[in-house]
Amino acid sequence: MSVLLIAEHDNKEVRPFTLNAITAASQIDQDLHVLVIGHNADAVVKFISEVPNVKKIIHVDNEIYQNYLAENFTPVIVKQSENYSYVVCSANTFGKNLMPRVAALLDTSQVSDIIKVISPDTYLRPIYAGNAFATVKSTDNKKCITIRPTSFDPAPTSGGSAEIVKTDAAEATTLSKFIKREAVKSERPELGTAKIVISGGRGMQSGDNFKLINAIADKLNAAIGASRAAVDAGYITNDHQVGQTGKVVVPDLYIAVGISGAIQHLAGMKESKIIVAINKDGEAPIFSVADYGLEADLFEALPQFLEELNKLNTIQK
Amino acid sequence: MKILVAVKRVIDYNVQVRVKEDGTGVVTDNVKMSTNPPDDNAIEEAVKIKETGRAKEIVAVTVGEEKAQETIRKALAVGVDRGIHVKADGITEPLAVSKILQKIIDKEKPDLVFMGKQAIDDDCNQTGQMLAALLNWPQATFASKIEVKDKSLEVTREVDEGLETIEVNIPAIVTCDLRLNEPRYASLPNIMKAKKKPLEQINASDLGIDTKPRIKLIKVEEPPKRKAGIKVASVAELVQKLKNEAKVI
């Protein structure tokens, strides 16, 4: 009756959302095993073996797993899943791409993007971009589940000593080929895990005006987000997009600047702990979810905001 | 080359969705319905490929109740050649839909299958990947750029870290992201012409697929509401509140 979790990593480090998925998976069943598929990923295996919630690691090492492809990972997972009741991974682009391919071959109706484990077979998940919550019960013998990482705390990473078992690779795929991955390099924290996020919308009026946002992000060590309107208008690249079709973020502080608050955007940020809205339209829907609303012209408010933050630092010194 | 596009009829993305009082689902009576937004990108991409002369025929397929054929008519009005409506009532889970599509593909033998990356009603994000698994075809999900080569596609995918490029052999499944292209609108003459294009109807039960849900929907409820916040009068007040009250800076 144990649970098999698929780790996401780059052969050097575990991707942080794997730790959130570990927390959720151990709520489903305490007998949690982690499958690490990769090449020369010993550092990853060692790191996960020290996570106290993890009982066992199954390590598959082969050069064909240097780069992740769903077509390559799926046969290994399907084979390993024989001994498990649950196959679990995070519901980010990694897990969203991978898990349904596994579930179909196991003839299981996958439960996607759960935000709460109610009992081992019953879960809470958002539908309609978070405008409704559904409680669902899986009736399949073997269950495939993806976890919304921001709804669970990351598991602690020290004190454990999981058993490590090596096993063989499956045959390499000829269906698809990895070419390249262009990671967006940034000095700032990653949008998905940052404690503070400041986002700009169509109200920014141009890409150049995002320098006002950048200055505050530098001051607060915040990640920079954007609404779909700002991305579509070409002010900023799409990896900054927060919302139903972008990233879901749950920071301690979310500052929405010049964002009206379309349903799709709210779906990506309304679980944030504190929400600030700065908008000159007092009727904008964003104010209905904001803890602190400031009705003001952002071109005046943002420089003042920076000035006030600078003053704070002076006091602290 | 032949392209099959799978489309779904959903509540329009501009509608504020309301939960039914009895907790059995969301209100759909008298609510505007339209094509799932990224499915429009899938249609547009297929039409663009046909316009370059690399595809001969585009077939649109939908699975759903009688009115689901509206999405097929809309696809026919922007350049799809013919449609197939697989009639099924109630909830059809992605696993059942992918089994139905597999049957259609066995018969139609397309070279490429396009669909949206996710439906905005159940937000499952499963059908394309499941279909690829059942057919043992490669999958290119979250596509934001597609380059058609001789026997393969080079696809740029939107992933958490940025952009990933993969090459998939044809036949392949592609699930489309919203930034893949800008879907066109149908002109009135084309809407009229679309009414004459062939639309075949099949019953899901005649395909021998069990569409009974495997996931029991226990209840649907409103998400917890945020408590009402306050308006601040100045930036200085905002910063003081964030520092002293919320303690987040």
Q: What is the pLDDT of residue B188?
A: 95
Domain boundary among A121, A148, A167: A167
CB of A83 within 8 Å of a chain B CB? The answer is: no
CB of A258 within 8 Å of a chain B CB? The answer is: no
% chain A with pLDDT above 70: 98
Reference A50, options A163, A166, A167, A165; nearest CA is: A163
Dihedral sign for Cα A97, A102, A105, A109, please.
Answer: negative
Q: For A274-295, how does the pLDDT look when each residue is reduced to its tens digit (9 = 90+)?
A: 999 999 999 999 999 999 999 9
Q: Assess whether A97 and A207 both reside in one domain.
A: no
> CB pairs below 8 Å between A and B: how many?
247
Q: For B78-128, how does the pLDDT look when each residue is reduced to its tens digit (9 = 90+)?
A: 999 999 999 998 899 999 999 999 999 999 999 999 999 999 999 999 999
Reference A130, options A239, A245, A223; nearest CA is: A245
Q: How far is B125 from B142, CA to CA, in rounded Å?
A: 10
Q: Which of A112-121, A178-187, B6-15, B57-66 bottoms out in mean pLDDT, i.e. has the lowest?
A: A178-187
% chain B with pLDDT above 70: 100
Q: Assess whether A141 and A218 both reside in one domain.
A: no
| Domain count of the fold of chain A | 2
Q: Assess whether A163 and A210 both reside in one domain.
A: no
Note if the bond before B223 is cis, omega within 30 degrees.
no
pLDDT at A5 over 90: yes
Q: How far is A149 from A152, CA to CA, in rounded Å?
A: 6
Tell me, yes or no, whether A221 lies in a domain: yes
Tell me, yes or no, whether A135 lies in a domain: yes
Q: Assess whether A247 and A312 both reside in one domain.
A: yes
CB of B97 within 8 Å of a chain A CB? The answer is: no
Half-sphere exposure at residue B60, Cβ-oriented, CA atoms within 13 angstroms: 35
Reference A115, options A93, A101, A130, A99; nearest CA is: A130
Q: How far is A71 from A236, CA to CA, in rounded Å?
A: 33
Whose structure tokens read 């609303």?
Answer: A293
**Which chain B residue's Cα is nearest to A296?**
B234
Tell me, yes or no, whether A172 lies in a domain: no
Q: For A144-169, how does the pLDDT look when each residue is reduced to its tens digit (9 = 90+)?
A: 999 999 889 999 999 999 999 999 99
In chain A, residues with a C-beta closer than 8 Å to the C-beta of B182 are none
Amino acid at the residue B160: D
Q: Assess whether A162 and A206 both reside in one domain.
A: no
Tell me, yes or no, whether A207 lies in a domain: yes
Q: Assess whether A159 and A239 both reside in one domain.
A: no
Q: What is the pLDDT of residue B54?
A: 96
Tell me, yes or no, whether A304 lies in a domain: yes
Q: Assess whether A125 and A238 both reside in one domain.
A: no
Question: Between β-strands A122-127 and A223-226, what pairing exists: parallel, antiparallel or unpaired?
Answer: unpaired
Q: Which domain holds residue A47?
A: 3-167
Work out the number of other CB atoms within 10 angstroms of the CB of residue B211: 20
In chain B, residues with a C-beta closer than 8 Å to the C-beta of A226 are none
Q: Assess whether A205 and A117 both reside in one domain.
A: no
When computed from its CA atoms, the radius of gyration of chain A, rounded to whole angstroms, is: 21
Q: How far is A111 from A89, CA to CA, in rounded Å?
A: 11
- CB spacing of B248 vs A253 below 8 angstroms: yes
CATH 3.40.50.620 fits B2-245, yes or no: yes
Beta-strand (E) ranges in A247-317?
Answer: 253-257, 274-279, 292-295
Label residue A316 exposed, middle or buried (CB < 10 Å: 0-12, 13-18, 19+): exposed
Query: For A35, which DSSP code?
Result: E
Q: How far is A11 from B77, CA to CA, in rounded Å?
A: 48
Taking a contact as any Cβ pair under 8 Å apart, which residues of chain B between 144 and 183 contact chain A?
144, 154, 157-169, 177-179
Q: Higher model confidence: residue A243 or residue A20? A: A20
CB of B29 within 8 Å of a chain A CB? The answer is: no
Q: What is the pLDDT of residue A244?
A: 77
Q: Assess whether A117 and A228 both reside in one domain.
A: no
pLDDT at A317 over 50: no
CB of A222 within 8 Å of a chain B CB? The answer is: no
% chain B with pLDDT above 90: 91
Q: What is the pLDDT of residue A1?
A: 67
Dihedral sign for Cα A22, A28, A32, A33, please.
Answer: negative
**Which chain B residue's Cα is nearest to A94?**
B159
Over residues A122-151, the mean pLDDT reads: 95
Q: What is the pLDDT of residue A237?
A: 87
Q: For A159-196, how does the pLDDT look when each residue is reduced to its tens digit (9 = 90+)?
A: 999 999 999 999 999 999 999 998 877 788 888 889 99
Q: For A200-236, how does the pLDDT look when each residue is reduced to its tens digit (9 = 90+)?
A: 999 999 999 999 999 999 999 999 999 999 998 999 9
Q: What is the pLDDT of residue A184?
A: 73
Q: Given pLDDT bands bounded at 50, 70 and 90, which one contains residue A25?
A: very high
pLDDT at A315 over 70: no
Amino acid at the residue A132: A
Q: Given pLDDT bands bounded at 50, 70 and 90, which one contains residue B33?
A: very high
Whose structure tokens read 């930036």?
Answer: B235
Question: Between β-strands A143-147 and B57-64, what pairing exists: parallel, antiparallel or unpaired?
Answer: unpaired
Work out the number of other CB atoms within 10 angstroms of the CB of residue B242: 25
pLDDT at A316 over 60: no
Q: Which two tokens stand for residue B84?
A: 């197939």
Q: For B185-241, how does the pLDDT look when each residue is reduced to its tens digit (9 = 90+)?
A: 999 999 999 999 999 999 999 999 999 999 999 999 999 888 779 999 999 999 999
Domain positions in chain B are 2-245
Q: Assess whether A160 and A226 both reside in one domain.
A: no
pLDDT at B161 over 90: no
| Long-range contact set of residues A192-195: C-beta below 8 Å, sequence gap at least 24 | A192/A17, A192/A92, A192/A149, A192/A150, A192/A247, A192/A249, A192/B160, A193/A16, A194/A222, A194/A223, A194/A249, A194/A251, A195/A221, A195/A222, A195/A251, A195/A252, A195/A253
- CB spacing of B167 vs A176 below 8 angstroms: yes
Cross-strand partners of A5: A34, A88
Reference B95, options A134, A101, A86, A114; nearest CA is: A101
- CB spacing of B158 vs A137 below 8 angstroms: no
Q: Assess whether A140 and A248 both reside in one domain.
A: no
Q: Assess whether A135 and A262 both reside in one domain.
A: no
CB of A1 within 8 Å of a chain B CB? The answer is: no
